[in-house]
Structures are given as C-alpha cells and as structure tokens.
C-alpha cells in the first residue's frame, strides 16, 4: 500500500521552456506569475557559505579570500575525512631555566579513519591548537605573477590602441605585440617601442617597461633513475591519482609529501524565478537552521492529488479508483476536474480513458487546530456519496472511473485540475475602498497518474 504514496505516481506538468512532468513535492510556485516552476526553470544562486564540519558561516568576501576553504578544519590527504587536532605532552625546556624541563602541550593533526597523522609528512607539532598549520606554497607563484603583469601591460596597450583607432580596420594586436616587444633570448636588438604603430606613451603613463625572460628550453631531461627497473614498488607509499588531484598545484607522487588541505566549504542556494526575478526560495543565514526565509513551494499553494486505492484493472472494463485531494491553504477552495480533450498536446502518456466527477468539489480550509480536535464538527457540506467517499478536515476522497485501453503495460491517466487561488500577498496595488482584498484566479494544471500494471 505504501507504494501508492510514492511521489512519482502523481505528476504535475510544468510549462517552462521544456514541458517537464514532476511530482508536486519537487515544484515551486511563483506567486507573482501564478505558475508552477521546476528546478530547471529557475535560476540558482549562491546564498551563503559554511564549513561542513564546524558549521560556521563565512561571509562571502572572506570566502573569496580564503579560496572557499575553512580556516580551522583540515581534510586528511589520504582518505578525505576531517582531521582532528590531538594534543600530547612533551617535555620542553623552560625559557628561563634551560636545565629544567616542563611539560608543554604540542598539537598535531590526526585522522580518525585511516590513522594518518601530520607527523607522517614531517609537519612539526605546533604549540597552538588552531591557526598554526600552513599550507605549502606553490613554487611557481612568482613566475606566474610576473607573466600576468607582463601580459597585462600588453593588454593595456592593445586596449589603448583599440580605443583610439575605433573606426580603423581591426587586427588582433596581441600576437603582433609580441614580435615587437618581447626581448627574445636570441640576439635581437630590442625593437624600438615607437615601432608599435606610433603608439607613444601619453598622459603621463609610466615609462617603465615590464619585460620578462622567456622561458628557457632544456636540452636534456632527467632520465629515470636506474633502480626504477629493479626496485619493488611500495604501494602504500605511492599516491593514488585521486589523492594527487586533490592538490593540483603539487600532485606529489609520494605519500610522504601529501600535505593536508583546508576543508572546502559548502553553500546554501537560493532560487529565483527567471521571468519575474522574485525569490522563490531563500534559506536562513544560519548554517544550522533548516528553515527558510522565503519558501514558495508548490505543496503549500496547490491542492495535491494522491492515490488511495486501486482495484484490479482490467482491459476495457470500468473500475473505480479512489483518490484524495488535500487543500493546503486556509480558505475554502473549489476544485473542478476535466478530462483531457481529444488531441490535447499535453496528453501524451495516458493509456486509459478516465471519467472524472463533473460536479465541483469543495475543500475546507486547512485548520491547524483541527488535528487536535477530536470531535470533528460536521462541516456542513452536502456530498454526493457516488463521488465523494469521505471527508476529513481539509481532505476529501473521491472516485474516478478508469477504463484501460491497452492490453498490456502500465495504466496511465491524465486530467486537468482547475482550482481557485487567492493571492494573499499580491504585489502592492492601490486597493480601493470596499473591494475584496484578494481576487480569486483560476489555475489549471495537468495531472498525470500512473496506476500500475493491469491485473492479470
């Protein structure tokens, strides 16, 4: 029976760029456009960063500076688990009196999962619990920065040229800028700067030229050491590809050079409707909170259809299926169902004919207190017993008749659900006196149910 409650049994159609059929629990409802939205038709944005192990929020400026890594937590380079700081007592000489020794605390990092410790790579124990551990620096940083400066200078020149000669014919300047500019390692007398299309440094620009050495090519490459052919491989000492790629700057081949890295942050996402640019979902700032500041999910606005029981379905025989309809809003909702017409472009999956109740169904509003009220007062709705099976606070059960048209395969039916929607927080409009605060809009959704295989 629980299989009937699976969300994939009832799909709602979303008319975005593509037509997507998704359960209602995975959809959002834009209250301003009055349309359903799925994850594909909203734009995702990064809202806030936090560390997954210490659950500390990090402002985005700091995150950018720290390269999206937490300042306090480390990852084990072998197994990617979070490292914990352990302390030992070591004897250390007192600063005042070198002869006497006292116990000092020394901290080191250790992995609880694979038993890796920071002492394995030769990192000395630190005397402060946190903040003492440094990541090694890339040896090529200086050279790369110089290269960037040099190219930036070339780029500036090109931009100046471009700005000046806006109407002239174009040529990409950068490559040609190389030929007149770069001081090659060969004996080529540095071409005079004025050769660069008459560009002269005006406007008090800096006269300082940044030239860099071109890289020197090597004649010989180091060969493999001789014992490579005969030395047995110590597999635990050789790093796996995954371990290497976690440290793109160094990619060490030996496990004794694997340094731990700071832990990478996670982020919280906020969603925004593409059409009206309103936020559909905005999480709380606090990493430990699972609530949302804005949560426009579809299940809190659209009545939800669920399958309650399915009889044996036989080919070309009419059977009654019991469905439930739940009203998520607090006011009374009127729902009418329509069958899909012939040649409906949305109706591509149905393999059975369906007869839906023709009368309008009325759903009571959701009353939070009603679940504690044991004596449910009669709600005073006149229900047709052929259509409505039961009624309980904001939920009703009703029958539809299904006639499977195919002999084999799953039975799928589709119908249209039309309900009224009161936009309680409509965009601010000047309300005239005496007018109802909100008007009802009628929304129509295309719903598909998959009722399972035919009974044999």
Partner 1 sequence: MPLFEGLGSGGEKTAVIVDLGAAYTKCGFAGETGPRFIIPSEIKRAGSPEAVRVVQYNINTEELYSILKEFVHLLYFRHLLVNPRDRRVVIVESVLCPSHFRETLSRVFFKHFEVPSVLFAPSHLMSVMTLGIQSALVMDCGYTETLIYEGVPILSAWEALPMGGKAIHSVCGITMLVFSSALVDSIPEDVVEDIKVRTCFVSDLQRGMKIQEARFNLDGSAERPAPPPDVEYPLDGQKILHVKGSIRDSVAEMLFEQDNEEKSIATLLLDTLVKCPIDTRKVLSENLVIIGGTSMLPGFLHRLLSEIRSLVEKPKYRDALATKSFRIHSPPAKPNCTAWLGGAIFGALQDILGSRSVSRDYYSETGRIPDWCCLSAPLPDSVYEAGKMPPPLMKRAFSTEK
User: Which CB, 267 or 455, lies closer to partner 1?
Assistant: 267
Q: Tokens in use for 146?
A: 């110089």
Report the nearest approach of partner 1 to the CB of residue 140 (Å): 4
Which CA distances in Å does 6 have to 3, 9, 32, 76, 454? 5, 6, 30, 39, 19
Report the nearest approach of partner 1 to the CB of residue 40 (Å): 8
Q: Tokens in use for 140?
A: 């090529």
Report the nearest approach of partner 1 to the CB of residue 80 (Å): 13
Report the nearest approach of partner 1 to the CB of residue 300 (Å): 25
Asked if 281 and 271 count as a contact pair (C-beta separation under 8 A), the reply is yes
Report the nearest approach of partner 1 to the CB of residue 93 (Å): 40
3-class secondary-structure state, position 22: strand
User: Which CB, 205 or 318, lies closer to partner 1?
Assistant: 205
Separation of alpha carbons 349 and 411, rounded Å = 9
Number of other residues whose CB lies within 10 A of the CB of residue 276: 13
User: Which CB, 79 or 148, lies closer to partner 1?
Assistant: 148
3-state secondary structure 387-415: CEEEEECCEEEEEEEEEECCCCCEEEEEE
Report the nearest approach of partner 1 to the CB of residue 331 (Å): 37
User: Which CB, 243 or 394, lies closer to partner 1?
Assistant: 243
Report the nearest approach of partner 1 to the CB of residue 246 (Å): 8
User: Which CB, 19 or 159, lies closer to partner 1?
Assistant: 159
Give the strand pairing for 279-283 and 57-58.
unpaired
157: alpha, beta or left? (left if phi > 0; alpha if psi -120 to 50):
alpha
Report the nearest approach of partner 1 to the CB of residue 208 (Å): 6
Report the nearest approach of partner 1 to the CB of residue 146 (Å): 9
Instruction: List CB contacts of 41: < 8 A, sequence separation 6 or more.
Output: 14, 16, 17, 20, 274
Report the nearest approach of partner 1 to the CB of residue 349 (Å): 18
User: Which CB, 63 or 321, lies closer to partner 1?
Assistant: 63
Burial of 57 (0-12, 13-18, 19+ CB in 10 A): middle
User: Which CB, 192 or 248, lies closer to partner 1?
Assistant: 248
Report the nearest approach of partner 1 to the CB of residue 84 (Å): 24
Which residues is 90 bridged to in the sheet? Answer: 104
Give the strand pairing for 361-363 and 279-283.
unpaired
Asked if 431 and 401 count as a contact pair (C-beta separation under 8 A), the reply is no
Which residues is 363 bridged to in the sheet? Answer: 333
User: Which CB, 142 or 405, lies closer to partner 1?
Assistant: 142
221 φ, ψ (degrees, to nearest 5)? -110, 150
Which CA distances in Å does 318 have to 312, 314, 388, 400, 415? 10, 8, 18, 10, 17
Report the nearest approach of partner 1 to the CB of residue 231 (Å): 7
User: Which CB, 204 or 385, lies closer to partner 1?
Assistant: 204
User: Which CB, 205 or 373, lies closer to partner 1?
Assistant: 205
The radius of gyration of the chain from alpha carbons, rounded to an integer in Å, stands at: 35
Instruction: List CB contacts of 88: < 8 A, sequence separation 6 or more.
Output: 105, 106, 108, 125
User: Which CB, 156 or 289, lies closer to partner 1?
Assistant: 156
Q: Tokens in use for 50?
A: 């936090």
Asked if 445 and 416 count as a contact pair (C-beta separation under 8 A), the reply is yes
User: Which CB, 235 or 428, lies closer to partner 1?
Assistant: 235
Question: Which single residue is written with the structure tokens 């439930």?
Answer: 324
């Amino acid at each position: 029976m629980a299989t009937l409650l699976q969300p994939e049994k009832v799909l709602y159609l979303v008319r975005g760029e593509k037509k997507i059929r998704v359960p209602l629990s995975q959809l959002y409802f834009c209250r301003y456009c009055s349309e359903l939205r799925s994850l594909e038709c909203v734009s995702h944005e990064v809202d806030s960063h936090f560390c997954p192990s210490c659950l500390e929020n990090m402002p985005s400026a700091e995150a950018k500076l720290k390269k999206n890594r937490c300042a306090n937590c480390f990852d084990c380079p072998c197994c990617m688990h979070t490292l914990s700081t352990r302390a030992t007592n070591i004897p250390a000489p007192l600063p005042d009196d070198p002869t006497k020794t006292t116990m000092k605390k020394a901290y080191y990092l250790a992995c609880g999962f694979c038993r890796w410790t920071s002492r394995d790579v030769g990192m000395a124990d630190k005397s402060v619990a946190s903040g003492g551990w440094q990541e090694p620096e890339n040896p090529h940083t200086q050279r790369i920065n110089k290269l960037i400066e040099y190219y930036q200078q070339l780029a500036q020149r090109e931009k100046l040229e471009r700005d000046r000669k806006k109407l002239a014919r174009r040529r990409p300047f950068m490559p040609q800028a190389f030929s007149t500019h770069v001081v090659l390692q060969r004996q080529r007398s540095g071409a005079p700067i004025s050769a660069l299309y008459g560009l002269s440094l005006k406007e008090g620009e800096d006269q300082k030229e940044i030239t860099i050495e071109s890289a020197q090519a090597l004649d010989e490459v180091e060969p493999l050491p001789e014992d490579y052919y005969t030395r047995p491989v110590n597999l635990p000492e050789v790093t796996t590809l995954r371990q290497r790629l976690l440290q793109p700057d160094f990619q060490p081949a030996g496990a004794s050079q694997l340094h731990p890295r700071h832990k990478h942050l996670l982020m919280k996402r906020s969603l925004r409707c593409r059409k009206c640019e309103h936020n559909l979902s905005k999480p709380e700032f606090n990493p430990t909170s699972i609530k949302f500041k804005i949560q426009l999910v579809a299940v809190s606005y659209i009545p939800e259809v669920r399958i309650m029981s399915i009889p044996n379905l036989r080919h070309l025989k009419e059977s009654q299926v019991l469905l439930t309809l739940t009203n998520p809003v607090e006011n009374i909702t009127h729902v009418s169902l329509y069958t899909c017409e012939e040649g409906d472009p949305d109706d591509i999956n149905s393999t059975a004919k369906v007869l839906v109740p023709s009368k309008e169904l009325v759903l009571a509003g959701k009353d939070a207190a009603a679940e504690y009220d044991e004596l449910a007062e009669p709600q005073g709705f006149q229900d047709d017993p052929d259509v409505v099976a039961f009624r309980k606070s904001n939920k009703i059960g009703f029958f539809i008749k299904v006639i499977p048209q195919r002999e084999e395969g799953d039975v799928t039916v589709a119908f249209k659900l039309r309900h009224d929607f009161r936009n309680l927080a409509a965009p601010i409009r000047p309300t005239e006196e005496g007018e109802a605060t909100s008007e009802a809009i009628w929304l129509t959704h295309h719903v598909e149910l998959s009722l399972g295989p035919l009974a044999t």
